[in-house]
Structure 1
Amino acid sequence: MNLSDDAHGLAHVLRETILAMVRRDGADLSARQLAVLLTVYLTEGPHTVRGLAAELRVSKPAITRALDRLGELDFARRKTDPLDRRSVIVQQTAAGQTFLKELRANMAAAARGESSSRTATAAAEAA
């Protein structure tokens, strides 16, 4: 398989994953919100607003808005850093872990070539 085929296949997996996520019950995330969530859950922390802004190369207010939304969904929570009260640490939640598990299942199904509608149904039944 050449690079062009790989890129096409990855784009297809991304499309099917996004379709499954927007078709599921519950809120879907913007690209920025998803980037923040994935960074918090897949990279070693502790994570701060300042650190996330630097890593994602976006402004601190953009990170704050994304975290506001993730907090509304209970996918992440902010806590004042006990060692530096000026800093805020971003923490994972059980709901965020569940969302990430569902996201991974949708990606795996898309990579296997399963349709997003079947994936969404299977993910809902597993929850």
Structure 2
Amino acid sequence: MRIGELAEAAGISTRALRYYEEQGLLRAERRANGYREYDKQAVLQVAFIQDLYRAGLSSEIIREIIPCAGSKRPEGDCDALVGRVRQVRDQLAQQEKQLAERREMLERYLSGAAIPAGLDSHLQD
């Protein structure tokens, strides 16, 4: 299928597909006329790439994951890669915790249960 067909099937822009190709995440065969030709599996691969981006992974890590997710035996060290993905997951969990703490503090301020530091001395005057 050509790039426009893949873009429509995957619900993504042709620009994004070209970016994925530049990053080494997606491969296309080139026809004699220079047009890109993708196989039918490309729709699934694009969906997989998008899921990994939404999960917070970088192009670098995604590029390493793709061979480990295929049916062929990968050349790289997939176990080490799993460790890196776990590290990203743990960083996301820490960020979620920090956001929850910040949101809770704002809720306390908005409800009047807490007064921002420095304002309490002005209220005593």
TM normalised by structure 2 equals 0.29
TM-score (norm 1): 0.29
Q: Which has the larger radius of gyration?
A: 2
Larger relative contact order (C-alpha < 8 A, sep ≥ 6)? 1
